[in-house]
Amino acid sequence: MTVDLVPLHGWTGSGVARYRGDNAFGEHSATPYLTAEVVPGLPTVFASVHRLGRTAVAPVPVSVVVTGECLVASWEDGRSDEFVLGELFD
């Protein structure tokens, strides 16, 4: 199984936690993670792509732009989706 975790907006770092032994995925496993520097008092938007599969990692089919409370996702097929974050998480 492959796991792809790609930061799209707001993240400042990433890494992989590697495990050996006692876990459900076999003798060896690795878990990707993202990190960020948060500025107290300032709102922050974090966007990422999480993908599980059985094939090699492929290019991410979306990019995002965040302006204020609006996130616009642009897909590789030319489609675009706009989300007003205040309406989603109010």
Global pTM exceeds 0.85: no
Domains contained in the chain, number: 1
Per-residue pLDDT of the chain (90 residues; tens, 9 = 90+): 777 889 999 999 999 998 888 677 678 888 889 999 988 988 888 999 988 888 777 778 899 999 988 999 999 999 999 999 888 776
Laid out side by side, the sheet with 70-75 consists of 62-67, 70-75, 80-84
**Which domain does 82 fall in, by range?**
2-88
